[in-house]
C-alpha cells in the first residue's frame, strides 16, 4: 500500500537477511516509524506489545521470529523454546500457531546447518502467500460490493455504498491489502463511490487510529463512530453491509474476532443488513468444533480500559485516566459470532456459506 507516495508493507526482511523490519503500529496515526527486530525474543515482544497486530501479521511475525531463532541456534531444544515463547504471546489468532507449526514441521527433519535458510525461505513464502490471499479476497469481495450497490456501471451510482467495519482488518493487520478492507480498496480503485463507517473499537481503538489512517492514505471517505452507534445506523438504513475480519474461524463457520463483532452481527441480523467476514484460509481452525468453549479468548490488561492513550496537544504521546482509581475492569479481547448470523465468508478461494459443508467443499479439507 502507498503512504504519501511510498510503497509500504507492514513487515519485511532486511537486506542482511538476519533481521526484520516492522511498522510500529502503536505510534499510528500520529507517527509512521519502523522498528528493526534482531531476535526471536524481540519478535515475541513486538507481538505481545502490539507493535504488530492483526491475525495474519502476527502469523508472519511469528514465522520470521522462528527464523531469527534458528539463525542463532538451530538445535531442537532452541527451536522448541522459541516456538513456545512465540506461541504464548497472543492466544486467540490461529494464524500464529499455524505459521509456527509450518516452519517447525519443515525444519525438523533437516540437518541443523540447513534449518535457518529453509526457515527464511518458508517465512518469506508465508508473507508472499498472505499478500496473494488478501488480494484474492479483495477480488471476491469486490463482486459482493458490486452486487449490493446494484449498479451496472459506477457512473450510474447516485449514492455511495455504505460499509461498516469493526477493528482493523486492513493492510496493517496483514502484510498488504488486508482482509475486510481489501474489497473496499479494490472497489475504490475501480471507481465505485464508497463510504466506510469505522467503529472506533475500544479499548485499543484500532478502528479510530488504524482503519481511519489506512482509509485516509487511500483517499476513501470514512466516518469514525463509537462502537455502540452501529445498530442505530442500521435501523436508519445507513449501512448497506458490514465486513469484518477474523482471528479464528472454525470448520463450522463460527467466527472469533475483535470484541464487539458479535453485537454488530446481531444488529445486522435484526435489520437484514448483510454481514460478511473476510478471511484467508490460514485463519481457519480445522480442529476446533465448539467455538465458544474451545477458542482461547485473550484477556488483556485492565489498563487498556481504565486509561486512554493518544497524542497530547504538545505532540507527544500520553495516557489519561478515564475511570475512578478504585474501579476494576475486565478486558476480553475477542468474541464469537455464530455462523448463523454471517451472510458469507469471503476467502481467497471465493465466498462460502458459513457452515461446515460449504467450507469443506471450498477447501476440500480431509
Ligand atoms: O487485537 P488485534 O488488533 O490483533 O485484533 C485484530 C482483529 O481483531 C482483526 O479484525 C483480525 O485480526 C482480522 S485481521 C485481518
Whole-number Å distance, alpha carbon 168 to ligand 1 midpoint, is: 6
% of the chain at pLDDT higher than 70: 99
The predicted-structure confidence for 225-282, as pLDDT tens digits, reads as follows: 999 999 999 999 999 999 999 999 999 999 999 999 999 999 999 999 999 999 999 9
DSSP state of 281: G
* Closest among 258, 336, 262, 248 to 304, alpha carbons compared: 258
Topology adopted by domain 152-363: Rossmann fold (3.40.50)
Q: How does the average pLDDT of the chain come out, rounded?
A: 97
**247, 254, 285, 335: the active-site residue:** 247
Whole-number Å distance, alpha carbon 16 to ligand 1 midpoint, is: 30
CATH superfamily of 2-128: translation initiation factor eif-2b, domain 1 (1.20.120.420)
Say if residues 51 and 10 touch (Cβ distance below 8 Å): no
Indicate the SS3 state at residue 250. Answer: strand
Q: Which of 245, 260, 295 to mutate to test the pocket of ligand 1 (most atoms within 8 A of CB)?
A: 245
Kindly provide the residue ranges of all beta strands, DSSP E only, lying in 284-361, ordered along the sequence: 284-285, 307-311, 317-321, 334-337, 344-347, 350-352
Kindly provide the residue ranges of all beta strands, DSSP E only, lying in the chain, ordered along the sequence: 2-3, 6-7, 11-13, 20-23, 34-37, 161-165, 194-199, 222-225, 241-244, 248-250, 255-258, 275-278, 284-285, 307-311, 317-321, 334-337, 344-347, 350-352
pTM of structure: 0.96
Say if residues 1 and 176 touch (Cβ distance below 8 Å): yes
Domain boundaries, the chain: 2-128, 152-363
The predicted-structure confidence for 165-178, as pLDDT tens digits, reads as follows: 999 999 999 999 99
Whole-number Å distance, alpha carbon 73 to ligand 1 midpoint, is: 32
Atom of ligand 1 nearest to the CA of 206: 3
* Closest among 116, 13, 107 to 60, alpha carbons compared: 13
Describe the strand order of the beta sheet including 194-199 as a list of residue ranges.
Answer: 222-225, 194-199, 161-165, 241-244, 275-278, 344-347, 350-352
The predicted-structure confidence for 181-214, as pLDDT tens digits, reads as follows: 999 999 999 999 999 999 999 999 999 999 999 9
Q: Whose CA is nearest to atom 14 of ligand 1?
A: 169
Question: Which residue is associated with the grid cell 477493528?
Answer: 167
**What's residue 165's pLDDT?**
98
Whole-number Å distance, alpha carbon 268 to ligand 1 midpoint, is: 20
152 pLDDT higher than 80:
no
Work out the average pLDDT over 133-141: 98
365 pLDDT higher than 80:
no
Name the phi and psi angles at 57, rounded to 5: -70, -35
The predicted-structure confidence for 24-39, as pLDDT tens digits, reads as follows: 999 999 999 999 999 9
Which of 75-89, 146-160, 323-337, 349-363 shows the lowest per-residue confidence on average (mean pLDDT)?
146-160
Confidence of residue 155 (pLDDT cuts 50, 70, 90): confident
3-state secondary structure 254-279: CEEEECCHHHHHHHHHHCCCCEEEEC
Q: Which of 91, 99, 168, 213 to mutate to test the pocket of ligand 1 (most atoms within 8 A of CB)?
A: 168
366 pLDDT higher than 60:
no
143 pLDDT higher than 90:
yes
Confidence of residue 148 (pLDDT cuts 50, 70, 90): very high
Whole-number Å distance, alpha carbon 92 to ligand 1 midpoint, is: 10
* Closest among 197, 190, 187 to 221, alpha carbons compared: 197
Say if residues 215 and 191 touch (Cβ distance below 8 Å): no
The predicted-structure confidence for 92-124, as pLDDT tens digits, reads as follows: 999 999 999 999 999 999 999 999 999 999 999
Ligand 1 binding site (Cβ under 6 Å of any ligand atom) = 53-56, 93, 167, 169, 173-174, 179, 206, 245-247, 257-258, 333
Helices 55-72 + 94-108 axis angle, to 10: 30
Q: Whose CA is nearest to atom 2 of ligand 1?
A: 54
Q: Which of 92, 94, 247 to mutate to test the pocket of ligand 1 (most atoms within 8 A of CB)?
A: 247
247 in catalytic set: yes
Confidence of residue 153 (pLDDT cuts 50, 70, 90): confident
d(CA 289, CA 356): 10
Cα-Cα end-to-end distance for the chain: 36
Residues constituting the chain: 366
Amino acid at each position: 500500500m502507498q503512504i504519501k507516495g511510498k510503497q509500504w508493507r507492514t513487515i519485511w526482511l532486511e537486506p542482511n537477511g538476519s533481521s526484520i523490519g516492522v511498522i510500529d503500529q502503536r505510534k499510528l496515526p500520529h507517527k509512521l516509524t519502523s522498528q528493526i527486530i534482531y531476535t526471536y525474543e524481540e519478535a515475541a515482544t513486538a507481538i505481545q506489545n502490539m507493535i504488530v497486530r492483526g491475525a495474519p501479521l502476527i502469523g508472519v511475525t511469528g514465522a520470521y521470529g522462528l527464523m531469527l531463532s534458528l539463525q542463532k541456534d538451530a538445535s531442537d531444544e532452541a527451536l522448541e523454546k522459541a516456538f513456545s515463547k512465540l506461541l504464548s504471546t497472543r492466544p486467540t489468532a490461529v494464524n500464529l500457531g499455524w505459521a509456527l507449526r509450518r516452519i517447525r514441521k519443515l525444519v525438523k527433519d533437516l540437518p541443523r546447518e540447513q534449518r535457518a535458510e529453509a526457515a527464511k525461505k518458508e517465512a518469506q513464502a508465508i508473507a508472499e502467500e498472505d499478500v496473494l490471499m488478501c488480494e484474492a479476497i479483495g477480488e471476491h469481495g469486490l463482486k459482493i460490493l458490486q452486487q449490493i450497490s446494484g449498479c451496472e456501471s459506477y457512473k450510474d451510482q447516485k449514492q455511495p455504498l455504505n460499509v461498516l467495519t469493526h477493528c482493523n482488518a486492513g493492510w496493517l493487520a496483514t502484510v498488504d491489502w488486508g482482509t475486510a478492507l481489501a474489497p473496499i480498496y479494490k472497489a475504490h480503485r475501480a471507481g465505485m463511490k464508497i463510504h466506510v463507517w469505522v467503529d472506533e473499537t475500544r479499548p485499543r481503538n484500532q478502528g479510530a487510529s488504524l482503519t481511519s489512517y489506512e482509509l485516509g492514505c487511500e483517499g476513501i471517505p470514512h466516518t469514525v463512530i463509537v462502537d455502540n452507534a452501529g445498530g442505530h445506523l442500521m435501523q436508519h438504513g445507513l449501512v448497506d453491509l458490514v465486513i469484518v475480519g477474523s482471528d479464528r474461524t472454525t470448520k463450522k463457520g463460527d467466527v472469533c474476532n475483535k470484541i464487539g463483532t458479535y453485537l454488530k452481527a446481531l444488529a445486522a441480523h435484526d435489520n437484514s443488513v448483510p454481514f460478511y467476514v473476510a478471511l484467508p484460509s490460514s485463519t481457519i481452525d480445522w480442529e476446533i468444533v465448539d467455538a465458544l468453549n474451545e477458542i482461547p479468548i485473550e484477556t488483556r490488561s485492565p489498563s487498556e480500559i481504565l486509561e486512554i492513550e493518544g497524542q497530547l496537544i504538545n505532540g507527544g504521546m500520553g495516557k489519561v485516566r478515564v475511570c475512578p482509581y478504585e474501579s476494576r475492569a475486565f478486558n476480553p479481547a475477542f468474541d464469537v459470532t455464530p455462523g448463523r448470523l454471517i451472510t458469507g465468508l469471503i476467502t481467497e478461494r471465493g465466498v462460502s456459506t458459513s457452515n461446515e459443508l460449504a467450507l469443506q467443499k471450498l477447501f476440500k479439507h480431509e
